Structure formats: structure tokens, C-alpha cells
Amino acid sequence: MQKLGRLLTAMVTPFDEAGEVDYVRARKLARALLKSGSDGLIVSGTTGESPTLTTDEKIRLFAELKQEIGDEGAIVAGTGNYSTRESIELTREAERVGVDACLLVVPYYNKPTQEGLYRHFSEIAKKTSLPCIMYNVPGRTSCNLASDTVIRLSKVENIVGVKEASANFKQISEIVQGVDDDFLVYSGNDGDTLLLMTLGGYGVVGVITHLVGVQTKDMINKLLEGKTEEAAAIHRHLLPLVDAMFMVTNPIPLKFAMNELGFNVGPLRLPLCEPDEKTANTILSELKNHTIDLGAF
């Protein structure tokens, strides 16, 4: 298994002015993110506007980005949705084009039971040899993946981790306590990374890491080295940026910020749209307080 790394960035999908996927820019952004602290990339996740990407666009993104970065970093393909059958089909296609792992979101809208969630994830895992990371984000799915279900699923051979965005630290503690040491518990919220890792978690799937990847990696490394006060100082400094990047639905603020900073990632696809003037001004004001790690691409 490709080593996935502690810092994975949930990459935006660049679009051209006509709203089509800009695969050339995507390749350049992927390489720039690896140079600025990321160990790997989540492709076609929520931040990548996966609900508005076609299946063909997703598969081409998986293939082109893996071709671009090779073994320099991991490509984790967002292949899960509300349908077990469709998730299996896309996961198989992602495996065919050579990705390193898949990210499987908790099914949204249909709100399955915990037994249904267990069967959903275990069935997908049975149909692929890829390492599978589950993604619990009840604020978007209206369905929480309970700690005992995660622990049960961690016994499935190729389910290797969970991205936890519940912000429920009791639940996260129960997961860390109940799984084997090699099961990867990632923070799904940038602002939760420090606390999650002090509880025994592994790393982060980040959004602000587009902009401050080096600083986030430094925080993680300092924490691992036992330099807790230094890590906490970085955490405190970055928290206002986290707040700014989530003032409205992700990735609206992030794409706006990147475009304003000169990193052209193009427009959003409807139903997402640009931030209002007040939100935009708040984002621009906060950006002035930070050094941006991302280089030109």
C-alpha cells in the first residue's frame, strides 16, 4: 500500500471560465500542493465539488493526477455516494486507473441505519483491493457513523481509516481507543487537528492546507516531537483562517481566496456561487494576517 501520509489536502477542482474541468491547472495545482506540505491529495471530495462532477470527469481526474505525481504522493479518490452499487462501480474504475486509496463518504439523504452503514462500507471494500477510508461528516450527510460501527468496520482488512468530521471528541476518543494502532484516524476539520492528534489520531484531511500546508505540517511535526506549546501556538494562529474559510459553504471561501491571491482555480459550479461582498471582505481581511505557503503553479 502506498504510504498515505499524515497531511492530505482535499483538493479543489479547477474549472475554466466556461465551467469545464481544467485538467492542466489541476495537474499543476496537485504538484504545487505536494511542494507546500501535502503528503497526498483527496480528489473529487466535497472540496473538489464532487456532487457536480460527472463520472467521466472524476475518472479522468483520478487518472491524470496519478500520472502527474506518480509515487511522489498519494491520490485518494472520492468514490463514495448514497448508492452502494454506484460507489462500487466508481471505486473499481478508480482502482483501474491506478489511484492509491479511496475515500467513501457516509451515504447522504437516504439516512441508513448503523447496520446499513456497516453493510455499505464492507460491501464496497469486498469489491476492491484499494485501501478504503471512511468519511463521517454528519453536518452534510445528516447521518452519523457511530464509534462502535467504525470499530466493527476497522476489522475489515482493507478498511484502513476514517476521516472524522463530526467534531464529537467523545466519539473520536472511543474510536481511537477501540481500533488497532495501524488504523488511521484523520481529522476532517482543520480546526480539530491538534486536539484529535493529542487523542491519538493520525493526521488531517485539510482545506486550509491549500494555503498554509507548510505551517500545518510544521504543527503536526512539532506535536509528534513533543513540542506541544509550539504546536498549539501554530494552531491558535491558524484558527481565524479556518473560521474565514468556513464562513459559508466550503469550497466557496477557498476558491475565492485562491483566485484573489493569484492562484487561478476558476469559478464554482452551480448551485454553489461566489461569496457576498461582506463575506468576501472578511476573507480578504483575514488573508492579510497569514503567510501563504502555496507557490505559483
Q: Which of these is catalytic: 23, 58, 118, 163? A: 163
Beta bridge partners of 288: none
- Using CB atoms within 10 A of its CB, is residue 179 exposed (0-12), middle (13-18) or buried (19+)? buried
Report yes or no: 274 and 268 within 8 Å, Cβ to Cβ.
yes
Point out the catalytic residue in the list 23, 118, 135, 186: 135
Output the CA angle 10-6-38, nearest 5 degrees.
Answer: 50
Collect all residues with Cβ–Cβ distance below 8 Å to 278 and sequence separation of at least 6.
none
**DSSP letter for each residue of 35-95:** HTT-SEEEESSTTTTGGGS-HHHHHHHHHHHHHHHGGGSEEEEE---S-HHHHHHHHHHHH
Is residue 82 part of the annotated active site? The answer reads no
Distance CA 162, CA 202 (A): 10
Which long-range contacts link 189-193 to residues 24+ away (Cβ below 8 Å)?
189/165, 189/242, 190/216, 190/238, 190/242, 190/245, 191/239, 191/242, 191/243, 192/167, 193/219, 193/220, 193/235
| Annotation marks residue 163 as catalytic | yes
**Gap between the Cα atoms of 270 and 19, Å rounded:** 10
Residues with a catalytic annotation lie at 135, 163
